[in-house]
Amino acid sequence: MTKKMTPQWSDGWLEGARRVPSSNFNARPANTGADLVVVHNISLPPGEFGGQGIEQLFTNTLDPTEHPYYATIAKLEVSAHFLIRRTGELVQFVSVDDRAWHAGQSVWCARSNCNDFSVGIELEGTDELPYEDVQYQQLQQLLDALRAYFPSLDPAAIAGHSDIAPGRKTDPGPAFDWSRIS
């Protein structure tokens, strides 16, 4: 079980999250905060958990010779604000005051470029494998902390990558139990 998180922030960085700064971000548009949370999944190599591939991808240090799949993605410049590992560990790559590069071409409620106004949360997992209880617990605590930081963040404004990029993305997939978060 994860420790209850007291939402304390410093320049958009959540205290208690392990910081692994990514250079894959830029400024949000002027006068734009986050009013959407996008839930993703990721595993590197695909279907394997616990390695350093995710952090290496988000910090542009992925070795394309380490795994055949890595050669296909090593040149991508992507990031998310947070990663929740299968152990419940919370990792932060980008300040929530900044624009992480997680959504790609996307639309939410007739607004395009969701990176501009969203926080991206990656769950270590796949579309088909059940997520861990501790991941749901950590995700709920993180959502509560984000709502404290962004008071205008509507509890209903939580979407899957599949919701903002239908036909292009499928995550967090059918294994994600939306009823476990609020």
- Checking if the pLDDT of 50 tops 70, the result is yes
Phi, psi dihedrals of residue 144, rounded to the nearest 5°? -60, -40
Mean pLDDT of 61-74: 97
Q: Alpha-carbon distance 36 to 115, whole Å? A: 9
pLDDT confidence of residue 181: 96
- CA-nearest of 157, 156, 155, 162 to 176 is 162
Tell me whether the omega of the peptide bond preceding residue 174 falls within 30 degrees of 0, making it cis: no
Q: Residue 52's pLDDT band (boundaries 50, 70, 90)?
A: very high
pLDDT of 133 strictly over 80: yes
Q: Rg of the chain's alpha carbons, rounded to an integer? A: 15
* Domains defined along the chain, listed by start: 15-23+35-176 (3.40.80.10)
- How far apart CA 140 and CA 5 sit, in angstroms, is 10
In angstroms, the Cα distances linking 180 to 112, 138, 139 are 28, 11, 10
Tell me which residue of 134, 115, 119 sits closest to 49, measured CA to CA: 134
What is the pLDDT at residue 34? 96
Tokens of 51: 């390695």
Which is catalytic among the residues 122, 124, 128, 132? 122
For the segment 138-156, what is each residue's pLDDT rounded down to a tens digit?
A: 999 999 999 999 998 999 9
Supply the pTM of this predicted model: 0.95
| pLDDT value of residue 1 | 47
Q: How confident is the model at residue 7, as a pLDDT?
A: 82
What pairing do the DSSP bridges indicate for beta strands 111-112 and 25-27?
A: unpaired
Q: How confident is the model at residue 6 (pLDDT cuts 50, 70, 90)?
A: low
55: annotated active-site residue: no
* Total Cβ atoms within 10 A of residue 13: 17
Q: Across residues 15-40, what is the average pLDDT?
A: 97
